[in-house]
Amino acid sequence: MTSPTARSFVLAIDVGGTKVESALVDDRGTVLGASRHRAATGAQASSEQLASAVSSVVTRTRASLPAGADLIGVGIGCAGPIHLPGAVSPLNLPVWREYPLKDLVAALVPDLTVRLRMDGLCITLAEHWVGAGQGIDNLMGMIVSTGIGGGLILGGVTVSGPTGNAGHIGHIEVGGFDDPCACGGVGCIEAVASGPKTVAWARTQGFTGESGEDLAAAYAAADPVAVAAVTRSGHALGQAIASATTLLDLDLVAIGGGFSNVTPDLLDFARSTIAGRVQFAYATRVRLVPSALSGDGPLIGAAALIHRAELVP
Ligand SMILES: [Zn+2]
């Protein structure tokens, strides 16, 4: 029997385009810092190198389990697209196409339940559990960073879709834009308003900086090109979110990711675009807020696949 004071942990794994991280997360959503390990991934890595990176962090994290604590399962969040129940094809890891990631991990922990979902769903679950979406039953979590991702909770439960890719807001096309997207679409919000795409557009207008940080500094200094670029991306985000909430009747959208912090004005531009749907009070009522998660959000969300399994049908 488990002692009532023993902590129960989930081994959480977050697989992304540049790194894989793992850590133990307790039933309050707290990451055990000493159990956190990371290894590089990247588009140049071979499939064997990626598998080895995952195996190495999982093995090291499991070895960090405190004496007397329970390990109750493994949750994996992975960059999309994915293929439920257990394969992945992360856009930025081209050697993994329908790669059986869940089986790889299950072989390392044969005694434990393993669940896998898209990273955007995990982030949304983390916002609902411990972040900006607590108590909110109709929620979209978004990441605006190198790419744009997202996930959905509707009616109090996560929406995965049959393949696991529901909520992939980054590939909603926005009107008035013709930027080509890696997915094959035209004018996808990721192709318009991600950090790198916003910087790239600014550079076509004469901006000489190279990073989102450069753009943030130029915006803060009222550089007109930086202001135009951030305004363009903010309004495009607003178009995508207005479309999403018109379809889904959301209460809240929580936005995180490095580029979402370029300036607080970014969300105000998005809000002003959403407010333009003047005849649709149900759409304009949606609240747009910054993420309340730390950098631990992806791991907390992966752990919630087990700790809050009732929210993940
Ligand atoms: Zn796209």
Query: What confidence tens digit (pLDDT) does each residue in 65-97 have?
Result: 999 999 999 999 999 999 999 999 998 899 999
**Mean pLDDT value across residues 295-300:** 94
Q: Which residues surround ligand 1, an ion (CB under 5 A)?
A: 171, 181, 183, 185, 188
Confidence (pLDDT) at 1? 43
Taking the centre of ligand 1 as the mean of its atom positions, its distance from the CA of residue 281, in whole angstroms, is: 29
Whole-model pTM?
0.94
Confidence (pLDDT) at 5? 58
Query: What confidence tens digit (pLDDT) does each residue in 242-264 have?
Result: 999 999 999 999 999 999 999 99
Sheet holding 114-118, edge to edge: 37-40, 19-26, 8-15, 70-78, 114-118
pLDDT at 56 over 60: yes
The phi, psi pair for 144, rounded to 5°, reads: -115, 105
Give the Cα-Cα-Cα angle 222, 226, 230 (nearest 5 degrees): 110
Average pLDDT, the chain: 96
The tokens describing 243, both together, are 């479309």
More confident residue, 76 or 146: 76
CA–CA gap between residue 123 and residue 140 (Å, rounded): 9
Taking the centre of ligand 1 as the mean of its atom positions, its distance from the CA of residue 191, in whole angstroms, is: 7
Taking the centre of ligand 1 as the mean of its atom positions, its distance from the CA of residue 179, in whole angstroms, is: 10
Neighbours of 276 (CB within 10 A): 13
Within 13 Å of residue 108, how many CA atoms lie on the same side as its CB? 22
Taking the centre of ligand 1 as the mean of its atom positions, its distance from the CA of residue 148, in whole angstroms, is: 10
Within 13 Å of residue 192, how many CA atoms lie on the same side as its CB? 27
Query: What confidence tens digit (pLDDT) does each residue in 1-26 have?
Result: 444 456 899 999 999 989 999 999 99
pLDDT at 309 over 50: yes
pLDDT at 53 over 60: yes
The tokens describing 156, both together, are 């109090």
Please state whether 217 falls in left (phi above 0), alpha (psi between -120 and 50) or beta: alpha
Query: What confidence tens digit (pLDDT) does each residue in 193-210 have?
Result: 999 999 999 999 999 999
